[in-house]
Each structure stands twice: as structure tokens, then as C-alpha cells.
A and B are shown apart, each in its own frame.
Chain A
Amino acid sequence: MKVIGADVGGTFTDLIFSDLSTGALGIHKVSTTPDDPARGVMEGIIALCAMNDVAPSQIDHVFHGTTTATNAVLEGRGARTGMITNDGFRDILHIGRHQRVEHYSIMQELPWQNRALIRRQHRKTVAGRLIPPTGAELVPLDEDGVRIAARELRAEGVESVAICFLFSYLDPRHELRAKEIVEQEMPDAFVTTSSSVSPQFREFERFTTAALAAFVGPLVGRYITGLDEALRGIGIRGDLRIMASNGGVATPAMVKEKPALTLQSGLAAGVLGGGWIGEQAGRSKLITFDIGGTSADIGIVMDGVFAETDSRSTSIAGFPLLMPMLDIHTIGAGGGSIAHVDRGGAFRVGPQSAGAVPGPAAYGRGGTAPTVTDANIVLGRLAADDFLGGDMGLDADAAHHVINTLAAQLGLDPLDTAEGILTILNANMANTIRSRTVQKGIDPRGFALVAMGGAGPLQGAAVAAILSIPEVIVPPYPGITSAMGLLTTDLKYDAIRTQFQISTALDSSRIGQDCDAMLTELSSRFAKDGVADETYTRSGDLRYVGQGYELKIPLPDGTVTAQSMQQVWDAFHAAHVAEYGHAFPDSPIEVVNIRLTGIGRLPKLAATAAPAGGSLEASLIRTSACVFRGDDGLASHDTPIYRRETLPVDTPFNGPAIVVQKDSTTLIPPGAIASVHPSGCIIITLEKAQ
């Protein structure tokens, strides 16, 4: 079986080919073509096939990570979108939660008002009202009103419609009927309902999620259709599979119906790739740490399970997004982050970034601000000759110049300044990892850090040391871990049913019936996709009665009974202790939602292996002076620089050392020990952390 992964990033589109039967692997990188990302993807696929001597017709699957939906939202380039909602509630999207973004600002913008997804003139209201607790009909739907609204929207040039009614998560019938009518009146429009996008309570968040889906729907649909056709055009007969925010892939039909699935597509693949690599190295508790030029993305994997966000913590461009997503935390800290002295005289690193253009001063593209990359050069950790395999020279003088200028401003020595930039950067990153681990009751000391992205392997060991994480794993190709992640996915679909049931008066048969209904929903979806080998897991969103935030707890398989639910209550109390340090064992528990996740197995990337042979001696390029902080302050160390491709397996070497390869540079600090694992990963063991 032959597969291709194509991951579109801001600057580059990364491609990977693998023959799963032989384990053969080929990688390629092309420039992203922002006006039509499919062009770059196709160029890359054609080249990749040629490089690996494989005919497009032999490719069985193409896996794709896309930023089309994300960019449409970030740049406000979506469809002209309309909405049909209840009388009396025209402005739910505009009022939001009536909370400002910033506490201490008069001149701030509110994204939902200043960058509205749906203008008020395209928000139509109709009579019709359902009420809790069961979704009973208080006022019947005004079907003529829906028809009139749809005609108005069509006349206004609207090409996409979100249908959003209160309490539709309890009963979608009004939304579904309105959708039928709108589709009759607007046959070419994209039409979605809030209950199909995310059947959960909290109307602003649900309506906004539906509005986001409608906003990106036509664009995503055209993009996927175009790409699919282009693939057929070069003779590829295999299936296209698109990365979704929940960490699975979806079919083109599914993505066209539910485009919001792809809003965090780009980030998910990175975490998957990190998780897969960690598993190759035999580690099951992982923190994936992906540093690029402008940002760092952090994810958590435990025993093959990827942490998911709770539904209240996710947003895109300031809009809440009520969807199952991998818990990926992004901070504005990367190789291009700019170090500066702010107005109050404090030393800051980021969040502003020099990006790829102009980039760090050392890129020689006109950058004049000192960046993290410049600091690494000044400390001797990035060598001009080795950067991007020597394809791109670095201007070390320029790096020294900008760091010297900053040092003068701070009244510090230039080396202290450079090292300080990294210390602040690493502390910021460690704080973020702490917020995803320690603050959720997870002890990072039992984890390994997977350092990836172009800049991850340079900072990984230092960040791990701050958190007392004992091990750092550097993947064989740190720069294309996201693309590799695409080749490790399964089809993954989620279903959800709101319950609002309380442990003291539980109707377990209703939970059982809803589980069955979700199973029918998902299995028919998989049947359509031609998947036979599928598995399901149940879970519930639980909280103590009265609380507003839920914890996700596994639900046992089989018939739901009072006995089987007792396990669930116990598990909830335990999870509450783990997450918050405390439980309220006498309080009744509320089941807010139940969920079913279906996984349709797909073929996976074969294990990687380090090239055989090689020796430390043969790998040694030279020895250079690098600066590190020790107990007595900064000191220069003679540091061997090794070529990664020829490092021997299972042969430990001591830090300080630097390992260079085309897409990244790995730093092993003094006191640490590194060794190439048979999987090809470098594993850095930190002495101090043990």
C-alpha cells in the first residue's frame, strides 16, 4: 500500500511518501501557494511521485492537512453568510457573552462586533420556539416566514446560511425543517444547522460555531472539490482524506458537509506525528513540543490517547468554537520571536515575530530586530554553514550586531543578553507546558518531551530541564513531523447527545437509547465511507450539579445500568480530585452530554529505523566553541558538532554536543547524554532531572 501525506503550512507545504509494505519513505518540501494552496500541493505530489519512482495511479491514499478554513477565518475571507434564527434573538451573535476581550482598554475591538461573521442585515428571524427540558414545541415554526427569509437572503447575494434556533440541541426538528425549506429556495447555497454542527447548550457558542461553519463552508467545499479533481487529473485513484481538528481524518463528503471540522486541521497533525514518533521510541507519556518561526504548539499524549479540549476553552480568531478538538496550546514563541526592552524597561521575548520575512537579522533579508535565532548564533549553537544543510547561509555578524545593540540597552554583556533571551523564551514555554500539565493534575516528570519543528530540538532540553522532564525525544525528521502525523491517522467521527440527567434520578435506559442512536448515526456514516473495521468508545461530560464546567469520563460498553453507572460516578470523583485537587463526594453528579467516538482504522506508517553503520568519529564535522550557563556563570565549552545521518545506533555521547541535519539542529547541553534509538530518534537524557 502506497500513501502520500501533504501538509500545508504558512511558508512551506511538506510532503511525505511511504510504501507501507516495504517501509520506504521519501520526503519533499515546496513553497506554499497561498492564492490556491492546491497548486503547491499538486506540484509537490507530482515531484514526490517522480522522486520515488511511483506512478500516481499506484497511490492508495492521499492524506491532507489544510489551513484553508483557518485562514478564511483569520483573514475574514469567508462567504457572504446569512442566518435564520428565532424571533427576538436576532443579535445573539453580536452581543456574545457581553464581556470585553480586555479588562483594561478603552480602544479595543470586539471580534464578534468588529469582524462579524454574519452582518445584521443577513440575520433573519422567524416565529417558532422550543423549550426545555425536552425540547417541547411552545410555538410552531413559521414555515412561510422561513421561506420569505430564504428568498430575501438569496436576493441579498448570500451564498451560505446558518440555521440557529434556541434549544435545538434538545430537538433539531425546527432546524431540520427550516433547512429543507431553505435548500428548496436556495439550491446552490451551503446550508447548515447549529444542532448538526454541535448539539450542545449555550446559544452564543453554538450559533457562532454554526456561523463559522457557514462562513467557511463554500470556500472549503470548492477547495476540496478542486483538489480531488486535480488528484484524479494526474491519475490518482486513491481516496483523499482530510485532517480534522479532532485528530482523525474525514472524507471529502464529510468535510463538505461539516467544514468546521477542519478549523484546526493544521495543528492536529503535528501532535499526531509527535505521538507516533514517541511511540516508535517506546515512550507512552509524551508532551509534543513543536516550535516553528513564530509559535510553539504543545500537546499531551498518554498511552496513545491524545488530550482533548473541554468544549468551553476553544476559540479561533476570538470566536468560540464548540467542537471536539485535540487540546493543542499555542503560544507566540519561536525562532523568530523578537527580544526587546519595553516601555517600562522590562526585557521581553515575543510575542512579536520577525517571521520568515524579514526573519532574524542573521537571515540577511533586512531584519534588524534581535531574535531567538540570532541569540542561538551568538552563543555558537547555530552554525552558519550548517543551517538548512548549508542551503541558506547565515550572517553571523548581523546576529552579533543586533544582540550587541540590545545588550547596550539593557546594560548587560552580549553573551548574557543572548543567553537571557533563551532563558526568558524557555521559561515562557515551560509555563505554558505547566498550564497543560501541572495545572490539570498531570506530573510532567513522568513524561518525555518530543522536540520537533525546525526550532524544537534546539530548545527542547532546556525546557525539559526547567520542568524536571527526564527525557527529550528528537524525531528523525523534526521539521516534517506534521506531515508524518498525517500518515498515522484513522477516520474519526464524533456524535453527542445532551442529557442533563442527575445521578440521584437517572434514567439509564435513556442513556442506552441515545448510545444506540449515536451508534446508528456513526455506523451509517462509516458504511457510506466503505469502512468495515471500526471501533467505538463512549464517554460522558459530567459535573457536580450546579457546576458550569464538565469533565470527560469514559462510559462502559454494554447495557447501561445503575451498577455500570456507579463506576462512572466513582471515576468522576477521582477525575475531579486529579484535575482540581478536591472532590465533593456527597454532591449529586449531572450527566450533561454523552458522546460516541467512532474510529475507522486506516493503514499506518511503518516503523522508522536508523540507518545502519556509522560512528561518532565519522559523524564529527568539527569542534566549536559554544557558550552555556554553569554553576559559575557563562562559560565557553568545546562542543563537537555531529552530522545526524551517520550517527551510530545505541552509542551514547555526552553533552555538550550539537547534531545538525537538513531540517533542524539538535542541542545536547552539558551534563546531558544523547543516544540514537533504533527507531532513528535521538533520545536526550537529562542528568539533573533525575
Chain B
Amino acid sequence: MTRIDPITAAVIQGALENIAIEMGHKLMRMSYSSIIRESEDFGAALTDATGRQMCECKMSTPLQSGPIPGYIQNVIQVLAQRNDPVRPGDVIMHNDPYGGASHGPDVAFCVPVFVNDNLIGWSVTTAHHLDIGALSPGSCGIVDAVDTYAEGLQFKAIKVIDQGRRIEPVWQILRDNIRASDLVVGDMEAQIEAARIGAARFVALVKANGLATVTAAFEDLMDYSERLMRDAIRALPDGDYTATTYLDGYLDDPDPTRRDLPLVVTLRVRGDTLAVDLTGTAPQLPDKPVNMPLIGTVDCAVWLTIRSILLDSVTYGAIPQNSGLTRPISIIAPRGCLANPIFPAPVIARFCSGNQLADTVMKALAQVVPHQVSAGIGNLRVVAISGLNEGNHWVHMEIMEGSYGGRFGMDGMDAVDTLYANTRNNPVEDIESHIPLRVERYELREDRIAPGQWRGGIGTIREFTFLDDAGFSLEGDGHAYRPWGFDGGATGHVASLTLQTADGSERALPSKVPYFKVKAGDRLISCGPCGAGYGDPLLRDPDAVASDVADGLIPAGTALRDFAVVLRDGAVDTKATDAARRSRG
């Protein structure tokens, strides 16, 4: 079955993982912009010569490392078409969302790895850049780009270093066309250095062990991951399982075809294979960038959700993330739908669509493995804030957390990134030290618990005041559709965003706001979504309800209304609670 003895396989696996960790460690520490160093929105991985992923950095966010094989496979193809050979010392820049990239701002730097003049693999880093020269400042919240060209610069396998020689005109184009280019170019340099370190370590590993041994170990590792996934799928009953959720789309758009967009997932379990059929999903929006690249976003959303549920790392430990894991899974997405758009349909704001798709996959799986899922999650939102300081742009991006639904035996996680994203927030003390913004509040929402035997997670409330004239944009979802309750649990709560202007007037904003000018003194109030409940709330442990009341998360009246729990002096009145629950049951 295996190509190599299990001892060598274990040794090589450890060495490969160590290389990816070092790449990420160095990228994080060398980079300049908070989206990389604080939010950790970056990826690092090694692939073989054909782009099959060998290992990824544990610190990176899944939506960055996951797409790396797609980047490389497309880079190889494009260079071959151009008859441009890959040589030692090359560094190739790539961000084509129709060529493997997750979206334009996630730029990859790819270092080909050579041993004795033979290409043996690739060392790659990806990172979300602050700006990529799109129509408005920042690289998120560009919810009004009409096509791929409006989304910013497109790099289709561009050599920025050719056989060790920097291609200066390319760097000059970057500096001239990107806002806050000092930061962005600095981050790109850091990416290149980290990828080069990965390449050097990869060469050393091959020299120490021989290419044949390393390759055999890697093939075994892929088989290993594949075997675990096939075993997990085989344990599911054959059948078709369908789920639907909805994206807000453009809630304030007069055109109804841009609102209430269905995402439909049908899982077809057949033996040890799983087909994920997205037929029924809304057609693409030809001139709005919430379409999702099939390779780079849709595939990652599907794979990551399935592995997080079927091979949950709490139960299974760390399973090597490599291309073997995805072999038993196929994806069917009709061409021209939201999940398989046709060039040049814009895609830059695909983040929320993809995470909602992940949630839809989980909803379908809930029918088969109810003890391994959460009820519906609260989706994430990203806000970009920008302004000018003495003629120079400042740009800040903040990923606003969601929350998980309740789980079998556990409440939902409060205030976290959900499903395919796992970034970090920016410290208040970092934000206020670097940009003209005052953070007034960052807390859990109160009295917004989705009832269930295991309650939904709680979202946050954040308030920001602008200290200077500036602009902001929002790329979000979940202002209209509540997270789905499961097995008798209640639906969750929607997110909202309110603008209070300095004159005291207030307006509610939809989940997508293109670049919007604000004045000093204006204030934004963001309420994050709250995940849904799991199971019958009348079965919830009354002490857990009392604890939430004591913690000020819900008032006693809500405890009675939603959970039929009667409190006396803060403690559960068992008799009265039993009676209340009987009368409802």
C-alpha cells in the first residue's frame, strides 16, 4: 500500500510541516500592514512540481493556504502557453481570480524550487494586500466594481524577479498604481523572502533524504489524508442531502435580481465519494462582485467545511492538509452561476458569499452527522476605512467577527471568525495609535441569544467615531437572513450597521456599502450576527440559563420567555421552572 516505511514517512512529514511553519512565522514578523501581521490573513505552503500541495503553515488562515495549488497550476499553464520557461532564481507574482486566485487582493509570490536544474516543487506565500489599485481605496468593501478590470491590477504569472534579477519596471508599476504602496510593496518583499526561505529548506530536505524518498513520503501522506477522508465519507449513509440558504445581495438595489440570492447545496454520498452539487444556486451577477471564483473560493469553502465536520481536529488531531484530502470530493457548479462565474464578471467581494456557502454545506451535512455540526453561523463582514494624511493614503481593514450556532453538547462560540476564515482582530490600542479613529465600544450584544438546548453564540457590538474626514466601505452579508436553527433551536439574529452623523441623525445601512464619505465626528455602530440555537430550548440546563442571566447576557424576563426558566434571587426556582416547562411542553 505504502511506498515507503512508516518511520521515514513520519520523519519527512514533520520536516515538511516545520518548513511551512517557518515560512509563516517569518512572513508574519516581517510584514508591515496589520491585515497580515495582526489579522494573519496570509498563507504559506509548499507544492510539488505540478502544484499539488505538500504542506501548509498552521498559522495561516485557511482561505489563503487552501487556494495555493490552484495558483500554481494556473501559473504553470500560463507560462507554458507564453513559452516562458521557469528558471532558478525566478519569482512569479499571480493574483488572477480566474486562474486559481481567491480574489485579486490575495497576491501570491511563487518561488520555483530546483535541485540539479530540475524543477521539484514550489514554495509559495499568499497575503491579502491593503490595496491593489481598484476604483476606491482599500481592497475590501469594493462592492460596486462592474467587472474584473475595475477590481484593480491583474497579475497573470508575472515574473517580478527573473533568474535573480529584479524586473524594475514591474515594481515601478506597482508603486505607481497602488495606494499606500510603501506598505504594500514592503509586504510583498516580505512574502518573497519567506517563500525563498521555504525553497531553501525544501532543497536541503531533498538533498538530505533524496528526491525519491521525499516524493514517496509525500505521496504516502496524500494517500493517508485521502484514506481518512474516504473512511469518513464511507461511514455516511448513501443518499442526497440538500440545503438552501440565502445571501442578502444588494438590499437597497432597485433591481430585485440582485437581492435574496439562493445558495443551494446537494451532497450526493456514494460509497466513499462525495459529490457537492451547487445546481439551483443563483445566477451570477454580471456587474456586481459577489460572485465566487470556482477555484480558489468555492472549492476551499466546500473542502474546509467538510473536513472541519467529518475530520474535526479535536477528534482526529492534525491531519496533513494536502491535495489527498480533496480527492474523494467533486464539485459541480453550473457555469454562469454565483459559484462559477464567467470572466470578466467581478469577484473581489466574494468573501461573505463563500462563507455563506460553507454554512450551506454544513446545513446539508447536519442531516447526516447532526452531532458534528453547529446550527447556522453568523457570517463575517469586512470594513475598509481610508483617508488622506498630507497627500498620503492611509488604509485600514477590519474583519468583523460573527459567531457560531449551538452544537451538540456545547453552546455556540461567541464573537469569532467563522468557518473558512480564521483571522484576528486589531487591538483597540493599535487602531487608535495609527489611524484617526476612536473606538467607543467593543462588547458582546446583550439580550440577543438564540434559544436552544445549546444556545447560539453571541455577536459583538462595535462603535467607532471618525476623528477626521474619511471614507469607508462595507463588504458584508447577513443583514436580512437569520442563521438557521437546528433540531428545535431558534434562528439566530441578523447583523446591522448604523451611521450616526455628527448632527445626530441616524441611518441604517445595508450589508454592502460602496465607498462612502464621512466627516469627523460621524459614528458607525456595528452589531454582529448571533448564531442560531441547537435543540429544544425547554431542554436547556436551567443553571446555564441562570448563569447567562447573572452574567448580564439576558434579562430574567428573557429566561422565562425563551427557556421557561423561573429565577428567584438569581437562582433557579426548580419547582416553578418544572411547572412552566410542563405547561409549554
Contacts and interface: CB of A to CB of B under 8 A. Distances in A.
Interface of A: 88-92, 94-95, 97-100, 102-110, 113, 119-121, 131-133, 166-167, 169, 201-204, 342-349, 410, 412, 416, 420, 423-424, 427-428, 431, 434-435, 439, 500, 544-549, 579-582, 584, 587
B40 to A, nearest CB: 7
A581 B26 CA distance: 9
B14 A344 contact: no
Contacts of B317: 342
B294 to A, nearest CB: 22
A258 B9 CA distance: 47
Contact of B463 (A88, A166, A428): A88
A473 B156 CA distance: 54
Given A89-B443, A201-B429, A346 B30 contact: no
A121 B546 CA distance: 12
8 contacts: A94-B415, A100-B413, A103-B61, A104-B321, A120-B551, A132-B432, A201-B427, A548-B34
Given A99-B416, A580-B26, A546 B183 contact: yes
B422 A107 contact: no
Interface in B1-42: 1, 5-7, 9-11, 13-15, 18, 21-22, 25-26, 28-34, 37-38, 40
B442 A547 contact: no
A94 to B, nearest CB: 7
A472 B29 CA distance: 33
Contact of B443 (A90, A100, A167): A90
Interface in B217-268: 224-225, 227-228, 231
Contacts of B410: 107, 109
B103 to A, nearest CB: 20
Contacts of B179: none
Interface string B408-426: 0010011111000011110
A202 B427 contact: yes
Contacts of B29: 547-549, 579-580
B583 interface: no
Contacts of A110: 413, 416
Interface stretch (B159-167, B270-278, B306-314, B487-495): B306-314
A237 B11 CA distance: 54
B428 interface: yes
Contact of B10 (A97, A346, A412, A500): A346
B576 interface: no
B581 interface: no
Given A99-B425, A424-B10, 20 more contacts: A95-B415, A98-B416, A99-B416, A103-B308, A104-B312, A119-B550, A119-B551, A167-B429, A167-B432, A344-B228, A344-B231, A345-B1, A347-B6, A349-B10, A412-B5, A428-B14, A544-B32, A544-B186, A580-B30, A582-B193
Contact of A97 (B61, B186, B228, B424): B424
Nearest to A169: B429
A108, A133, A166, A428: most-surrounded residue (chain B CB, <10 A):
A108
A114 to B, nearest CB: 8
Contact of A204 (B196, B427, B433): B427
A467 to B, nearest CB: 11
B373 interface: yes
A132 B314 CA distance: 41
A104, A424, A427, A544: most-surrounded residue (chain B CB, <10 A):
A104
Interface string B300-326: 000010011101111111010100000
A324 to B, nearest CB: 19
Nearest to B415: A95
Given A94-B444, A439-B25, A580-B193, A166 B31 contact: no
A570 B551 CA distance: 52
Nearest to B26: A580
Given A98-B401, A131-B438, A431 B15 contact: yes
Interface string B338-365: 0000000000000000000000001000
B18 A431 contact: yes
Nearest to A548: B37
Given A201-B430, A343-B231, A546 B186 contact: yes
Interface of B: 1, 5-7, 9-11, 13-15, 18, 21-22, 25-26, 28-34, 37-38, 40, 58, 61-62, 182-183, 186, 189, 193, 196-197, 224-225, 227-228, 231, 304, 307-309, 311-317, 319, 321, 362, 372-374, 399, 401, 404, 407, 410, 413-417, 422-425, 427-430, 432-433, 438, 440-444, 460, 463, 550-553
Nearest to A421: B7
Given A91-B444, A113-B413, A344-B227, A121 B38 contact: no
B26, B182, B443: most-surrounded residue (chain A CB, <10 A):
B443
A104 B416 contact: no
Contact of B442 (A91, A100, A544): A91
A121 B551 CA distance: 4
A107 B417 CA distance: 14
A554 B526 CA distance: 44
A434 B21 CA distance: 11
Nearest to A89: B442
Contacts of B34: 548
Nearest to A156: B550
A103 B422 contact: yes
B21 A435 contact: yes
A106 B407 contact: yes
Those 4 A-B pairs whose CB atoms lie nearest each other, nearest first: A548-B37, A546-B32, A88-B441, A347-B6
Contacts of B18: 431, 434-435
B11 A423 contact: yes
B21 A91 contact: no
A581 B62 contact: no
Contact of A547 (B31, B62, B413, B443): B31
A132 B551 contact: no
Contact of B424 (A94, A99, A133, A549): A99
Given A92-B442, A435-B18, A344 B30 contact: no
Contacts of B428: 89, 166, 203
B9 A581 contact: no
A102 B314 contact: yes
Contacts of B31: 547-548
Contacts of A98: 399, 401, 415-417, 423-425, 460
A131 B304 CA distance: 41
A105 B193 CA distance: 31
Contacts of A100: 413, 416-417, 422
B421 to A, nearest CB: 10
A146 B25 CA distance: 42
Contact of B433 (A104, A105, A349, A500): A500
Contacts of A423: 7, 11
Contacts of A547: 29-32, 37
A611 B441 CA distance: 68
Contacts of B32: 544-547
A345 B1 CA distance: 11
Contacts of A169: 429
Contact of B313 (A102, A121, A580): A102
Contacts of A104: 62, 304, 307-308, 311-313, 319, 321
A199 B5 CA distance: 52
Contacts of B441: 88-89
Contacts of B307: 104
A193 B1 CA distance: 60
Given A344-B225, A347-B6, A106 B374 contact: yes
A324 B392 CA distance: 37
Given A131-B432, A548-B37, A95 B444 contact: yes
A511 B219 CA distance: 56
Nearest to B401: A98
A105 B313 contact: yes
